[in-house]
Amino acid sequence: MDSDTILRGRGVSKQFRGLRALSDIEFDIPRGSICGLIGPNGAGKSTLFNLITGYYPLTSGTIEFNGARIDGLATTRISRIGIGRAFQIAKPFPDMTVYENVRVGALFGREGQRDVKEVVEQAMNLMGLSHLAQRKASSLTVGSLRKLEVARAVATRPELLLADEPCAGLNGTETAEMIECLRRVRDQGTTVWLVEHDMRAVMSISERVFVIDAGTKIAEGAPDVIVNDPRVIAAYLGAEPVA
Amino acid sequence: MRPLSLKPLLALVVGVAAVAVFTGLPAILPPFYIRVLQVFFFSAGLALSWGLLGGFAGYWSFGHTAFIGIGGFTAALVSSHLLGGGGTGWGMVVTVGAGGLVAALFALVLAYPLLRLRGIYFAIAMLGVGEVFSELSSSIDWIGGGLGLTLPAGTDLDIAPEVFYYYVFLVLMVAILLISAATKLSRFGYGLMSIREDEDTARMLGVPTERYKIQAFVLSAFLVGTLGAVYAYSLGYFSTPSLFRVDFSLNMIVHNMIGGIGTIAGPVIGAAIMVFLTNVVLGSFLSVHLLLTGALVVLIVLLAPTGLLGLAARLWQRDPPEEEPTSPTRERERRLTNEPAE
Amino acid sequence: MVALQTLIDGLILGGVFSLAAVGFSLIFGVLGIVNLTHGIFVVAGAYIALLLWSGLGLDPLVGIPVIMVVLFATGYVYQRTIIQWATERATVVASLLVTFGVALVMRNILQLIFSSDIRSISPSYSFVSFSLGDLRIDAVRVAGLTTSLVLLTVLTLFLSRTSFGRMIRATAQQPLAAGLSGINVPHVYGLTFALGAAFAGASGAVIGIVAPFSPATEAIWTLNAFVVVVLGGVGSPAGALLGGLLLGVINTMTAQYIGPSFTNATMFLVLVLMLLVRPQGLMGNAFGESR
């Protein structure tokens, strides 16, 4: 069981001055899975990802990656041990080409031997970006920017990819495409944890879904269980109909 | 990815041809033009060194002249205190090397606190560093920048001084050019450029941002210190205002901006244009020198904010947006005015 | 006794520093621009005061309204043209360079018109001084300090009580929202810049009677303003006052106890330390986390 859990959180809490942003969040992410993280705006989803990647320190609790504590490590270090992150607001390097952007990921990221050129090409292929390789990132559409954001994270060769709303701002076709891409990332052996607003997208792809609201976890389980959970329905009351 | 382009080959051919021409030139040029070219090599070397930090990593120093001063003063102090006034021939290698190393050492000490500052704050703090070192060099008697210091001739070979320093600066510029090109293509260079583009994201991708910034700063200071030491030699006698010159700091930035920030050829092109303009074309209009330099700076920022290389690139290959363009400039603006990092 | 005299001298000098920096602070806070032309406004104010005094016999302090009007107009035009073009086209660091370029041009023009000679203005009360026990206080300095405090108070009231002041603050905090609610943002930027220039010019008149000036001193006034803002915080007259007084005291204390040639070194040491320890300044940013 233990070696099947890639990321484990226990009592993860974050307090900003007076505001309790997250309290006592527990999670176990199975290796090789795609998991979902949902919750209303401001529930603390991005904050949780920021804690995992060492962007802020935890107020209390522990996070383990592959059985070793990672809370308290520097952001750079976390990337090096194999946790990648695609941001909610796509942040490609604007003055670099698509190729160069992905290359930064391949040159850095997880420690270990690799053929940089091959990693870059694989990541671009995977996300369907090869035909845009020599484009400046600043000339891309929102859809391509999102793909680039994920491609660059994939190029860091993470064991675990935290994808923060990769479908935000995409239309139906693009969303389906992105979901397909994430599935391919998983099939390559990378565990994916996904924050997403589009319930249909999350439910279609995730094996396990975590729901947080106002900083606490209110539900966890398989997608079909989650959609029928009364607490989740209450939290989302008035939101778009589920599934 | 792309087929092996002709660009590196072309650069190599142009580079070798240029070095060959510059090596032969002193034989036929009058001394005035030899001196102008010497200033060009010096300025291009400075601009390239500044670019390692300012161009690649995006940390614009407004006070790099501090390292010119540190390099020059170190060379002179080593000469007078340790070499008994010597420092010719191999002695010059020692004093100049010491100048570069001491500049690098100061940079190492300054790096940790200063590189936590970003954008405008770093720029102004460096301006302050330049002022502080300048003032200390003239106020502390032991250093003696108020009265001035002397250095011996760099060589006892039978060669005119301007020709000697012409070659020394040529060699240094070529060396710095190669260092810059190697840096730009390396992992280190990619790391620096990702810091320039977005430091937080770079960190998230595993770039060791702190270490890289410090390394770039120290390398840049070492090269500027070395150039400063040679420059002090070429002056023979110098005092604080001859090395700690705000216009040196400014020129490093302006030359980069004119040519194209973050490029290799840009700083060299920028230095070539400005040195030619100010020394040859405007040489006889000294009273309006500032005015013309200032006006040129304004025109460049307004008309070619990405420098001449950027302008040329835009004219060569139109790169139309895929569809709706996003605006990276706004985003960058937000970052540059950011409060310093936590 | 020497310490007290030094402290008082520092506070008086600091009052002038505050006035000289408040425009810079306002422009930095509202437009987010480090205006390296600032020192030119200060020195230009001093030269206009000199012209009014030598041409019409007008006392520099009486001439302040004229100076402010001239610089207000100049500042507005300058912002709506060159500065606006630069910020539209390039980055904020580029606007730093543009203002630097303009400063070089203007310094050169001032040198051509007025020569590089060091000047000063000496009205009739220049050589009067009061004594309080062992303390000696010059009349000009008191006049300068009073003028500075009055003008800073006027600006504070203007920013907090008038609708135009509220407009400036709204624009500084949320330029987008301000634009959407009908504020003409470019116009407000222009007027804010003009206001900053006008106060810099006014300080020039005060500086004219208390200190020597030449075209080259513009650089010092720009740097001083920057240090004052870093010390006191961005955007508010109160921050400028606090930062200015501190800088004044640091200046006179350094000159007295370390040596007059170390004042700039100390000033920058304090600047760098302050940036590292409390980058938002002692009073914080008057316009909040707007940028």
Top pLDDT among B281 and C241 is at C241
pLDDT above 60: residue B319: no
Residue with tokens 């040198």: C111
DSSP codes joined into one string, C114-128: H-S--B----GGGG-
What pLDDT does B341 receive? 33
Is the minimum CB–CB distance between B186 and chain A shorter than 8 Å? no
A21 lies in some domain: no
C272 and B113 within 8 Å at the Cβ level: the answer is: yes
Cβ atoms of C214 and C51 within 8 Å: the answer is: no
Residue type, B234: S
* pLDDT, tens digit (0-9, with 9 covering 90-100), for B4-61: 456 778 888 888 999 999 998 998 999 999 999 999 999 999 999 999 999 999 999 9
Q: Do B321 and A139 touch (CB under 8 A)?
A: yes
Range of the domain at A180: 32-55+74-207+218-235
Q: In percent, how much of chain B has pLDDT > 70?
A: 90
Residue at A116: amino acid letter: V
- Evaluate whether chains B and A are touching (3 or more beta carbon pairs less than 8 Å apart): yes
* β-bridge mates for residue B70, sequence order: none
Q: Are the Cβ atoms of B336 and C93 closer than 8 angstroms?
A: yes
CB contacts, 8 Å: A142 with chain B: 324, 326
Q: Determine, yes or no, domain membership for A9.
A: no
Amino acid at the residue B29? L
Ramachandran region, residue B218 (left: φ > 0; alpha: ψ -120 to 50; beta: rest): alpha
Query: What is the pLDDT at residue A226?
Result: 86
CATH T-level fold of B28-315: ABC transporter involved in vitamin B12 uptake, BtuC (1.10.3470)
- Residue C253 and residue C250: Cα distance in Å, rounded? 5
Tell me the mean pLDDT in the region B285-294: 80
Which of chain B's residues have a Cβ under 8 Å away from the Cβ of C280? Answer: 339
Contacts of A108 in chain B (CB under 8 A): 187, 191, 205-207
Distance CA B65, CA B126 (A): 10
Tokens at A130, concatenated: 């090869």
Report how many helices (DSSP H) and strands (DSSP E) chain C contains, helices first: 12, 2
Chain A: residue whose CA lies nearest to B190: A104
Selected residue with higher pLDDT from A167 and B40: B40
**Looking at CA atoms only, how far is residue B330 from chain A in angstroms?**
11
Q: Which chain C residues have a beta carbon less than 8 Å from that of B297? A: 97-98, 100-101, 104
pLDDT tens-place string over residues A54-75: 988 899 999 999 989 998 899 9
Of A215-224, B82-91, B333-342, minimum mean pLDDT range: B333-342
What angle is formed at CA A180 by the lines to CA A179 and CA A182, rounded to 5 degrees? 65
B211 close contact with A: CB closer than 8 A: no
DSSP state of A93: -
The helix/strand/coil state of B158 is coil
Structure tokens, B245: 């010159």
| Residue whose tokens read 């050829």 | B265
Q: Where do runs of H (alpha helix) occur along chain A? A: 45-52, 75-81, 98-107, 116-126, 142-155, 172-187, 199-205, 223-226, 230-235
Query: How many Å apart are CA A28 and CA A67, to the nearest integer?
Result: 11
Q: Could you tell me which of B332, B8, A193, B244 has the C-alpha nearest to residue C89?
A: B332
Residue C259, CA atoms < 13 Å, CB-side half-sphere? 9
CA distance C131 to chain B (A): 34
Beta-carbon separation of C92 and B288 below 8 A = no
CA distance C253 to C10: 7
CB burial of residue C126 (10 Å; 0-12, 13-18, 19+): middle
Task: Tell me what pLDDT residue B156 has.
Answer: 85
| Mean pLDDT, residues A212-218 | 88
Token couple for B272: 């070539």
Picking from C32, C108, C112, the nearest residue to B337 by CB comes out as C32
End-to-end CA distance of chain A: 31
Strand, coil or helix: C36: coil
- Whether A138 sits inside 8 A of B197 (CB atoms) is no
Distance from C-alpha of A22 to C-alpha of C130, rounded to nearest angstrom? 65
Chain B residue numbers with beta carbons less than 8 Å from the beta carbon of C108 are: 287-291, 294
Output the CA torsion C14→C19→C22→C23 (10° steps): -140
Question: Which residues in chain B are contacts of C36 at CB distance < 8 A?
Answer: none
Residue in chain B lying closest to A116 (CA): B187
> What confidence score (pLDDT) does residue B195 get?
94
* CA atoms of A160 and A147, how far apart (whole Å): 17
Are chains B and C in touch, 3+ Cβ pairs below 8 Å?
yes
Q: How confident is the model at residue B232 (pLDDT cuts 50, 70, 90)?
A: very high
Mutate to test the interface with B, among A52, A93, A100, A117 (most CBs of B within 10 A): A93
H or E element, residue B149? strand B149-150
Count of CA atoms in the C-beta half-sphere (13 A) of C166: 3
CATH code where residue A91 lies: 3.40.50.300
> What are the E-state strand segments in chain C?
129-132, 135-138
- CB contact, 8 Å: B181 with chain C? no
Q: Which amino acid makes up residue B89?
A: G
> For chain A, how many structural domains are there in total?
1
Residue recorded with tokens 């309006």: B288
Asked if C104 and B293 come within 8 Å (Cβ–Cβ), the reply is yes
Interface predicted TM-score of the whole assembly (ipTM), two decimals: 0.85
> In angstroms, rounded to a whole number, what is the distance separating the alpha carbons of residues B81 and A140?
61
Least confident piece of the model among B6-10, B129-133, B276-280, B323-327: B323-327
8 Å CB contact between A127 and A135: no
Dist CA B35 CA B38 (whole Å): 5
Chain C hits for B287, CB-CB cut-off 8 Å, are 108, 111-112
Minimal C-alpha gap between B122 and chain C (Å): 9
Please indicate whether, in this complex, the C-beta atoms of C82 and B123 are within 8 angstroms of each other: no
Q: Mean pLDDT: which of B25-29, B158-162, B221-225 is highest?
A: B221-225
Q: How far is B163 from chain C (nearest CA, A)?
A: 33
Nearby residues of C49 by Cβ (< 8 Å), 6 or more positions away: C60, C63, C64, C67, C121, C204, C205, C208, C209
Does B141 reach chain C within 8 Å, measured CB to CB?
no
Which residues of A fall below an 8 Å CB-CB distance to B?
53, 55, 74-76, 79-80, 85, 87, 91, 93-96, 99-100, 103-105, 107-110, 117, 120-121, 132-142, 144-145, 152-153, 156
pLDDT computed for residue C279 by the predictor: 66
- Chain C contact for B131 (CB, 8 A cutoff): yes
Single out the residue of A45, A15, A42, A41 nearest to residue A27, CA to CA: A45
pLDDT value of position C229: 87
**Lowest model confidence (mean pLDDT) among A94-98, B301-305, C282-286:** C282-286
Q: What is the pLDDT of residue B246?
A: 80
For residue B201, the chain A residues in CB contact (below 8 A) are 87, 91, 93
Least confident of B268-277, B301-310, C160-169, C201-210: B301-310
C114 reaches B (C-beta below 8 A): no
What is the least distance, in Å, from the CA of A118 to any CA of chain B? 9
H helices of chain B, where?
A: 7-24, 31-51, 65-77, 90-114, 119-139, 161-185, 187-197, 199-204, 209-235, 240-243, 246-259, 265-275, 289-303, 307-316, 328-336
> Does any domain span residue A60?
no
CA distance A113 to C102: 52
Q: How far apart are CA B43 and CA B228, in angstroms?
A: 11
The partner residues of A213 in beta bridges, in order of sequence, read A216
Mean pLDDT score across all residues of chain B:
86
> Is B136 an interface residue toward C (CB < 8 Å)?
yes
Using the Cβ of B342 and the Cβ atoms of chain A, whether some distance falls under 8 Å is answered with: no
Is C94 near chain B, with CB under 8 Å?
yes
At residue C258, what are phi and psi to the nearest 5 degrees? -110, -45
Predicted pLDDT of residue B329: 42
Q: Is residue A45 part of a domain?
A: yes
Residue with tokens 């990378």: A190
**Cα→Cα distances A164→A57, A140, A153, A158, C261, Å:** 19, 19, 11, 15, 56
- In three-state form (DSSP H/G/I as H, E/B as E, the rest C), the secondary structure along A2-48 is HHHEEEEEEEEEEEECCEEEEEEEEEEEECCCEEEEECCCCCCHHHH
d(CA B242, CA B134): 10
Q: Which long-range contacts (CB under 8 A, 24 or more apart) does C93-97 make?
A: C93/B60, C93/B119, C93/B120, C93/B123, C93/B336, C94/B301, C94/B305, C95/B301, C95/C33, C95/C34, C96/B120, C96/B123, C96/C33, C96/C34, C96/C36, C97/B253, C97/B254, C97/B257, C97/B297, C97/B301
pLDDT tens per residue across span B267-289: 999 999 889 888 887 777 777 87
Q: Among all residues of chain C, which has the CA nearest to that of B61? A: C93
Min Cα distance B223 → chain C (Å) is: 24
Residue A98 lies in a domain: yes
Chain C closest-CA separation from residue B137 CA (Å): 11
Q: What is the token pair recorded at C282?
A: 């002692």
What pLDDT, in 10s, does the model give residues C35-57?
Answer: 999 999 999 999 999 999 999 98
- Interatomic CA distance for residues A193 and A160, integer angstroms: 7
Asked if the C-beta of B183 comes within 8 angstroms of chain A's C-beta atoms, the answer is no
**How many B/C residue pairs have CB atoms within 8 Å?**
128
What is the rounded average pLDDT for all residues in chain C?
Answer: 86
| pLDDT reading at B109 higher than 90 | yes
* Cβ contact B125–C112 (<8 Å): no
- The number of CA neighbours under 13 Å toward the Cβ of C117 is 6
Beta partners for A85? A162
The confidence score (pLDDT) of residue B332 equals 42
Confidence tier at C287 by pLDDT (50, 70, 90): low
Sign, CA torsion C156/C157/C161/C166: negative
Render the burial of B218-228: b for 16+ CB within 10 Å, e for the rest. Answer: bbbbbbbbbbb
Angstroms from C57 CA to nearest CA on chain B: 31
Residues in chain B within 8 Å Cβ distance of C284:
none
Rounded distance, CA C75 to CA C17, Å? Answer: 20
- Note the pLDDT tens digit of each residue in C125-167: 777 787 877 778 888 888 888 999 999 999 999 988 898 888 8
Read off φ and ψ for residue B105, nearest 5 degrees: -65, -45
